[in-house]
Amino acid sequence: MAVNRPSLRLSLWSALAYLFLYAPIAVVVIYSFNAARFGAAWNGFTTHWYAAIWDNPQALSAARNTLLLAGCSTLISTLLGTALAYGWTRFHFPGRRWISGLLHIPIFIPDIVLAVALLLLYSLVSPWLRFFELGLPTMVLAHVTFQIPFVAIVVRARLAGLDPALEEAARDLGASGRQKFRHVTLPLMMPGILAAAMLAFTLSLDDFVVSFFTSGPGSTTLPILIYSSVKRGITPDINALSTLIILASILGTVSVMLLQRKNR
C-alpha cells in the first residue's frame, strides 16, 4: 500500500522541530561572522575571528591536541573494534552472547560515570606507572574505550549484511582462508570499517566530559578550551572555532551516510 504523504499539520510541526534542532547551530555560525566583540547586537559581517584563530597559540595547541587525540584513538579503536566485530560474527566461542551486553555499556552509561571511573583508575595506578599520569596518553586510552563499541557495532552490521555467496565462491575457486580474507572479505568490509573510523573520529572530536576529567596540564583540547572560554563569557572567536568543529562534524556525518548508502 502506498503511504500517504504527510499532512500539512504534520509538516508544520516537523518544520518547527527542525527549526528547534538547528537554531543553536545557526546562531553559532551566524555570530561567528559578527563584527561586534561583545553582546548580541549585529554589527556587520567580518571574517576577522577566523583569521584571529591562527594568531591564538592556545587555540592552535588545542587543535593540535584534539587532532592527535582523535587520530591515535581512532587508529587503535578501529583496529581493535574491527577485529572484535569479525570474531564476534564469524566464530563460535563460549561467552559470545555476553559481548553485545558489554558493548552496550559505554553507549548507555552517562559520560561522567565513565570519566570519573577512569580518573579513579589512573590516579590509583599512576604512583607505580608514570604512563598513567594525566595527559594525552590517558585521554587516548579513555577515548578508545568509548569508541570500540561504536566501531564493533558498525562493522558487525556490515559483516552481517554481506552476501555469503561471495566468500563461498572464493573458496570454491580454490582460495586459501588467508587469500579469501585478504582479497574478498576485507575489501567487502572496507566501507563499514571506513564509516566506523569516521564515527570514532567524530566521537573523539566532540567529546568534552571524558576529556575534561582525564586531561592533564598541557593536554587541553578544543572542547575543553571552548568550555573554559564559555564559562568566562561567549566571544565571537569561540563561535568561529565552534563553527569549524561543526563543519568537521557535518562533513564526517555526510561522508558516513554516503559510505553506508554505497553498502546497500
Partner 1 sequence: MTDPGNSRQTVRAAFVCGPGLIWLLVFLLVPMLLILSVSFISRGAYGELEWTVTLENYRRLIGFGALGFDPLYPQILLRSLALGATTAFLCLLMGMPLAFFIARLPGRFRAAALLLVVIPFWTSLLIRTYAWQILLAPEGWFGSILRHLGMTELYPGTLAVLIGMVCDFLPFFVLPLYASVEKINWSLAEAAMDLGASQWNVFRHAILPQISPGLTAGLILVFLPATGQFVIPDLLGGAKTVLLGNAIQQQFGQSRDWPFGAAMAVAALALVIAGMWLFYRKSGQKGEWL
Q: Decide: is 223 part of the binding site for partner 1 (CB under 8 A).
A: yes
Residues binding partner 1: what is the number (CB under 8 A)?
Answer: 91
Scanning residues 103 to 122, which ones bind partner 1 (CB under 8 A)?
103-114, 116-121
Scanning residues 15 to 34, which ones bind partner 1 (CB under 8 A)?
17-18, 20-25, 27-28, 31
Q: Decide: is 246 part of the binding site for partner 1 (CB under 8 A).
A: yes
Q: Which three cell numbers stand for residue 145?
A: 574505550
Q: Decide: is 257 part of the binding site for partner 1 (CB under 8 A).
A: yes
Nearer to partner 1, 44 or 95 (CB): 95
Of the candidates 150, 131, 252, 146, which has an alpha carbon nearest to the alpha carbon of residue 209?
146
Nearest approach in angstroms of CB 153 to partner 1 is 5
- By CB under 8 A, which span of 14-22, 54-62, 126-134, 184-192 interacts with partner 1? 14-22
- By CB under 8 A, which span of 50-58, 61-69, 127-135, 201-209 interacts with partner 1? 201-209
Q: How far apart are CA 31 and CA 176, in angstroms?
A: 59
Cβ atoms 263, 191 nearer than 8 A: yes
Q: Decide: is 214 part of the binding site for partner 1 (CB under 8 A).
A: no
Q: How far apart are CA 198 and CA 180, in angstroms?
A: 26
Rounded to the nearest 10 degrees, what angle do helices 186-206 and 57-90 cross at? 140
Rounded to the nearest 10 degrees, what angle do helices 57-90 and 136-160 cross at? 40
Residue from 199, 200, 240, 259 that binds partner 1 (CB under 8 A)? 199
Q: How far apart are CA 240 and CA 34, in angstroms?
A: 10
Q: Decide: is 188 part of the binding site for partner 1 (CB under 8 A).
A: no
Residue from 102, 166, 169, 173 that binds partner 1 (CB under 8 A)? 102
Nearest approach in angstroms of CB 174 to partner 1 is 20
The 76-95 contact track toward partner 1, x by CB under 8 A, reads ----xx-xx-xxx-xxxxx-
Nearer to partner 1, 27 or 169 (CB): 27
CA–CA distance from 15 to each of 7, 56, 161, 254 (Å)? Answer: 12, 39, 34, 21
Residue 161 per-residue DSSP state: T
Residue from 35, 52, 53, 99 that binds partner 1 (CB under 8 A)? 99
Q: How far apart are CA 218 and CA 100, in angstroms?
A: 37
Cα end-to-end distance, the chain, whole Å = 23
Q: How far apart are CA 69 and CA 165, in angstroms?
A: 40
Q: Decide: is 4 part of the binding site for partner 1 (CB under 8 A).
A: yes
Q: Decide: is 136 part of the binding site for partner 1 (CB under 8 A).
A: no
Nearest approach in angstroms of CB 230 to partner 1 is 5
